[in-house]
């Protein structure tokens, strides 16, 4: 974001910047360079040989990056400091295309010496970049420095190009910045947002105070006789899609209860389960079927029957 100015951040811009700068520009450069060092020099940091104009231009880019980071950080221009680093990294990637190491690897001794210079310069460019990036992405920067096999990571060492020790050994590159599938990522964000909104609405609904519900005394509550029971049989009520007819065993008696839970439960979901029943509810006839009680359940849009532990005795009073 511009220094001391408003900026715009969207998930699309975050993914685009991540893929461009971290996955491609930095991560791919590290992976390619370490792989070439292993393939062409058995993992050893080669000796740089004769310098060409391309090498001098690369070194100049990284000298400018070091100066730019210092100057911008002194004035708190953090975004500009980072841009100095990634501008130099883009130059390093272009340097690979200009020098074509894979072509040099097929040549004779002179080309092999030239290849050593190219690989060394790339590893040194990566080292300088990683040191500069330590304050911004410390864990990843340290992993990069480990991968190129260097202990030279102090800030004084990046004042000049060429502090990387020859003969060191590169290591396996850990997964640094896997490329993000923008569509899958944005779909995931949208799903998380939708689920969060649903949870917030559910919490808000649960917290609502329902007006018109009068307070009752303990005596009123004790007037409701709640008993434990076990469902011994269950079947749908004919001509009533919402109703199930349950046969209950209260231990001291058997009784039949009709419940409007067919939308959420099948008969086999209930048989053998232990529930709580309002035992002193006046009998009623629903769709021609007598009901003597009501089982406890929670919810409005999604109904959940209150089930008891399997070892709950039958006929116990629930208080």
Q: What is the DSSP string of 85-108?
A: HHHHHHHHHHHHHHH-HHHHTTS-
Q: What pLDDT, on a 0 to 100 scale, did the predictor assign at position 212?
A: 56
**Whole-Å CA distances, 194 to 13, 184, 187, 189, 208:** 21, 15, 10, 9, 21
Q: What pLDDT, on a 0 to 100 scale, did the predictor assign at position 50?
A: 77
CATH class of 11-182: mainly alpha
Element (H, E) at 74: helix 53-74
Q: The domain 218-318 belongs to what CATH superfamily?
A: Nucleic acid-binding proteins (2.40.50.140)
Q: What is the DSSP string of 170-195?
A: --PPPP--PPP-HHHHHHHHHHHHHH
CA-to-CA distance for 40 and 36, rounded, in angstroms? 6
Q: What pLDDT, on a 0 to 100 scale, did the predictor assign at position 135?
A: 93
Q: What pLDDT, on a 0 to 100 scale, did the predictor assign at position 319?
A: 84
Q: What pLDDT, on a 0 to 100 scale, did the predictor assign at position 210?
A: 53
What number of CA atoms fall less than 13 Å from residue 142's CA on the CB side? 3
CA-to-CA distance for 83 and 55, rounded, in angstroms? 21
CA-to-CA distance for 24 and 177, rounded, in angstroms? 8
Could you report how far apart the first and last alpha carbons of the chain are, in Å?
62
Residue 257 burial (CB count, 10 A): 25
Phi-psi region of 42 (alpha: psi -120 to 50; beta: other; left: phi over 0): left
Domain residue extents for the chain: 11-182, 218-318
Q: With contact defined as beta carbons under 8 Å apart, do 153 and 127 qualify? A: yes
pTM comes to 0.63
Q: What pLDDT, on a 0 to 100 scale, did the predictor assign at position 3?
A: 83
Q: What pLDDT, on a 0 to 100 scale, did the predictor assign at position 202?
A: 82
From first to last of its 319 residues, the chain has per-residue pLDDT tens of 778 888 888 999 999 999 999 999 999 999 999 999 999 999 999 999 878 999 999 999 999 999 999 999 999 999 999 999 999 999 999 999 999 999 999 999 899 999 999 999 999 999 999 999 999 999 999 999 999 999 888 888 998 899 999 999 999 888 889 999 999 999 999 999 999 998 888 888 776 655 556 788 888 888 899 999 999 999 999 888 899 999 999 999 999 999 999 999 999 999 999 999 999 999 999 888 999 999 999 988 899 999 999 999 999 999 8
Q: What pLDDT, on a 0 to 100 scale, did the predictor assign at position 2?
A: 77
CA-to-CA distance for 121 and 106, rounded, in angstroms? 19
């Amino acid at each position: 974001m511009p220094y001391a100015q408003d900026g715009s951040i969207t998930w699309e811009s975050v993914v685009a910047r991540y893929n461009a700068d971290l996955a491609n520009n930095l991560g791919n450069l590290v992976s390619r360079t370490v792989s070439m060092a292993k393939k062409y020099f058995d993992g050893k940091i080669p000796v740089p040989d004769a310098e060409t104009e391309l090498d001098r231009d690369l070194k100049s880019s990284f000298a400018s990056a070091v100066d730019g980071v210092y100057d911008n950080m002194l004035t708190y221009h953090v975004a500009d400091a980072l841009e100095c680093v990634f501008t130099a990294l883009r130059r390093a990637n272009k340097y690979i295309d200009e020098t074509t190491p894979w072509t040099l690897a097929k040549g004779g001794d002179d080309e092999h010496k030239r290849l050593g210079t190219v690989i060394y310069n790339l590893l040194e460019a990566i080292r300088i970049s990683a040191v500069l990036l330590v304050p911004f992405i410390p864990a990843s920067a340290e992993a990069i420095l480990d991968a190129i096999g260097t202990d030279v990571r102090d800030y004084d060492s990046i004042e000049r190009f060429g502090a990387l020790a020859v003969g060191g050994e590169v290591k396996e590159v850990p997964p640094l910045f896997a490329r993000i599938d923008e569509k899958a990522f944005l779909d995931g964000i949208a799903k998380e947002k939708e689920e969060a909104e649903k949870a917030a609405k559910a919490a808000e609904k649960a917290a609502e105070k329902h007006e018109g519900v009068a307070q009752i005394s303990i005596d009123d509550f004790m007037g409701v006789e709640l008993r434990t029971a076990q469902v011994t049989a269950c079947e749908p009520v004919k001509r009533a899609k919402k109703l199930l007819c349950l046969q209950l065993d209260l231990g001291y008696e058997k009784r039949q209860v009709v419940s409007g839970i067919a939308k959420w439960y099948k008969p086999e979901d209930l048989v053998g389960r232990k529930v709580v029943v309002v035992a002193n509810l006046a009998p009623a006839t629903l769709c021609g079927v007598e009901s003597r009680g009501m089982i406890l359940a929670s919810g409005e849009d999604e109904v959940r029957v209150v089930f008891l532990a399997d070892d709950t005795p039958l006929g116990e009073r629930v208080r």
